[in-house]
Structure 1
Amino acid sequence: MTITYNTPDRPAFIRKQYAFAAYIRDPENHPRPDDVEARRMKIYRELFYNNVESYLADTYPVLRKIMPDSHWHAIIRTYFSRHLSQTPLFPEMPREFLKYLEQTRAPHPDDPVFMLELAHYEWAELALSILDKEVDESTINSEDNLLESRMIISPLAWLLSYRFPVHKISPEFQPKEADENLTHLVVYRDRDDHVRFIEANPVTARLIQLIIAEDEKTGRELLEQIAAELKHPQSEVVVSHGLDILNNLRNRHIIFSIGT
C-alpha cells in the first residue's frame, strides 16, 4: 500500500494523521512520529491491531482454530498494514478481509487448500445475520399448492456451492483435496433471526437455482424440467419427491409461494 501523507500539497495536520496511522499499521516500514513518545505509540499500535485481530478471529472462528498462531498473525498483520479498505464501516471489515484473501494476498505454502472457501462460508454466516432485508409478507400465501404455484426464494437465503465440505471442517477434519462432487449448502436466516444451514443434494440445489431463474414457472413445471434433465423414466416420481423438498423449504421460510 502506498502512503501519501508526506505530499506537500496536503495540510500539515493531514500529513500528521497519515504519519500516525502509517506507523500504527506498519511500524517496521514507517517512522514513529517524533512528537509522540514510543511508549504511547506502542499502546496505540497494540490497541488497534488487537481490536482488528479479535474481531476477525470472532468472525472466522474455524479458520482461526485450525491455523498455527504464527501463520494466523502473519496474515492479519499483512492485511492490517497493506489492505486499503473501501468502507469505513466496522461491520464490513470481515468482507474486506475476505476480499483481501481472494483478490490481493498471494497464496502461501502453509495455507490450507480449502482456506478461501472456508473463509467465504464463515463470512456468509455473518453477512446474513446483519443483512438489512425483509420478506414482503403481502405477496406470499402459505396455503398454496406448491406444484401449481410460482415461487420466490427468500432474500435471507443463499445457495452456496463449494469444492470442499466447509461446514464439516474442524481441527480434527481438514481435507487435503477437493471432493469429486460439489457441496451445496443453503444458508438462511430464520424468523427468529438465527442463521442456519442445510446441506442440499444436487436435485434440491438445482431446484433452488431454477426457482431463482424461472420465477414464472410453477413447481410442477420446474420439477418436470429437472426430470427431463435427469432423463428420469418416470417424471411423476421426481415430481412427488420434489414436492416434499418444496414443502420442507417452505416450512423453513427459504421459499415462498406467490400464487399462479
Structure 2
Amino acid sequence: MIDFRALQQQFMAHIRDPEKPAPQRVPAQRMAVYRELMLNNVGSFIDSGFPVLKSLYREADWQALRQRFFAQHDSHSPLFVDIAAEFLAYLNGLEQLQPHDPPYLKELAHYEYLELKLDVMPEADHQQPLSVQDDLVTTPLLLNQVAEIGQYRYPVHYAAAHQCELEPVETLLLVYRNPELEIAFMVVNAMTVALLARLSVDSPVTLGAVISALQQQFDQFPAEVIEQGVIQMLGQLARCGVVVKPLG
C-alpha cells in the first residue's frame, strides 16, 4: 500500500509537471496522453469561468498561466465552480505579476468568479420577489441571497471593451441575479452599499428602520434627502430583484 501510494504521488507529480520524474515502467507517450487529458479538462473549466480574463492574453501566455496553476496549486475539488475558486485563490496568492498580466488581474478574476458563483447559487426557499402591489412602507424587506458587492481599484466591468487599457478608479459593483434569472450588475456608491448593509438575508426589516439608520449614519445630509434617496433606491433594487420579501 505504501508503495502504491508513492506510485500515485509520483504519477500525479509528473502529470502536473513533466520536469519531475515519471513512474518507472510507464511509457512516456502514455504519460503525455494522461497529462494532456487532465490539463485540457481543468483548462476548459478555467476558460469557461474566466472568458474576459482569457481574452486579454495571447494564447501562449494564457496557456502558460493555466499550466502554472495546474503544476503549482493544490486543488481539493473537481467541481466546476470549485475549480474556478481554486484558480482565483492561486491568482490571489501570486506575489508578483508577469509583464503581460493586466494590473487588475486579481480583481477581474474575482468579478468573473462572483458572476459564476451567483449564477449557480440556489434561490433562497424563504424569499420571494416583491410585486407591484407591495407597499415598501409596510412590506418587510430582505436582501436576496443571490447578490453580492465587489469592491475594486479598477472598473473591471469595462475590461472586455477596453482590454488592458483601464485607469485606476475605485469601483463598487453590485452583482446579482435578476428576475429573468440572468446575472447582472450595477455600479453603486457608498450610500447604496450602506443601505444594502442594513438589509439581511434572513431577518426582515422595515423601510422606516432603514431610513432611520442611514439618517444617523449620514447625518451630514438633510434627513429628507436621505429619506427620498432610500425610497428611490429601494424601489430600483426591488425591480431588479435585489430586495425581496419573506415567503408567505
Is residue 25 of structure 1 aligned with residue 13 of structure 2? no
Distance 1:21 1:173, change over 3 A: closer
Is residue 98 of structure 1 aligned with residue 88 of structure 2? yes
Matched residues in 1 for 2:209 and 2:187: separation?
Answer: 24
Contact 2:150 2:175 in 1 (8 A): yes
State the Cα distance separating 1:173 from its structure 2 match: 4.0
Matched residues in 1 for 2:182 and 2:207: separation?
Answer: 27
Matched residues in 2 for 1:141 and 1:64: separation?
Answer: 38
Q: Residues 151-170 of structure 1: matches in 2 within 5 Å?
A: 151-170=141-160
Q: Which amino acid aligns with 2:86?
A: E
Matched residues in 2 for 1:170 and 1:230: separation?
Answer: 39
State TM-score, norm by structure 2: 0.86
Contact 1:150 1:215 in 2 (8 A): no
Gaps of 5+ in 1: 1-9
Contact 2:127 2:244 in 1 (8 A): no
Gaps of 5+ in 2: none
2:74 to 55, 76, 84: 84
Contact 1:250 1:256 in 2 (8 A): yes
Match of 2:61 in 1: 71
For residues 93-121 of structure 1, give each alpha carbon's deviation from its aligned partner in whole angstroms, at most 9, with x where no partner exists. 00011111113x22224232111110000
Moved over 6 A (4+): none
Matched residues in 2 for 1:193 and 1:66: separation?
Answer: 28
Matched residues in 1 for 2:7 and 2:202: separation?
Answer: 56
Secondary structure of 1:241's counterpart equals: helix
Matched residues in 1 for 2:2 and 2:211: separation?
Answer: 65
1:223 to 203, 207, 211: 211
Q: Which amino acid aligns with 2:17?
A: D
Q: Which amino acid aligns with 2:239?
A: N
Contact 1:128 1:156 in 2 (8 A): yes
Match of 1:3 in 2: none
For residues 68-94 of structure 1, give each alpha carbon's deviation from its aligned partner in whole angstroms, at most 9, with x where no partner exists. 333322221111011111334343100
Matched residues in 2 for 1:135 and 1:160: separation?
Answer: 25
Distance 1:137 1:171, change over 3 A: closer
1:250 to 223, 231, 238: 238
Contact 1:113 1:177 in 2 (8 A): no
Q: Residues 166-177 of structure 1: matches in 2 within 5 Å?
A: 166-170=156-160, 172-175=162-165, 177=167
Distance 1:26 1:171, change over 3 A: farther
Contact 2:204 2:245 in 1 (8 A): no
State the Cα distance separating 1:153 from its structure 2 match: 0.4
2:4 to 3, 13, 29: 13
2:135 to 123, 145, 158: 145
Is residue 40 of structure 1 aligned with residue 30 of structure 2? yes
Matched residues in 2 for 1:66 and 1:53: separation?
Answer: 16
Is residue 131 of structure 1 aligned with residue 92 of structure 2? no
Distance 1:76 1:173, change over 3 A: closer
Matched residues in 1 for 2:202 and 2:220: separation?
Answer: 20
State the Cα distance separating 1:23 from its structure 2 match: 0.9
Matched residues in 2 for 1:117 and 1:125: separation?
Answer: 13
State the Cα distance separating 1:33 from its structure 2 match: 2.1
For residues 107-166 of structure 1, give each alpha carbon's deviation from its aligned partner in whole angstroms, at most 9, with x where no partner exists. 22423211111000000111111123424147x764442234442101111122222111
Contact 2:155 2:166 in 1 (8 A): no
Match of 2:186 in 1: 198
Identity %: 31
Contact 1:204 1:245 in 2 (8 A): yes
Matched residues in 1 for 2:173 and 2:206: separation?
Answer: 23
Matched residues in 2 for 1:46 and 1:214: separation?
Answer: 46
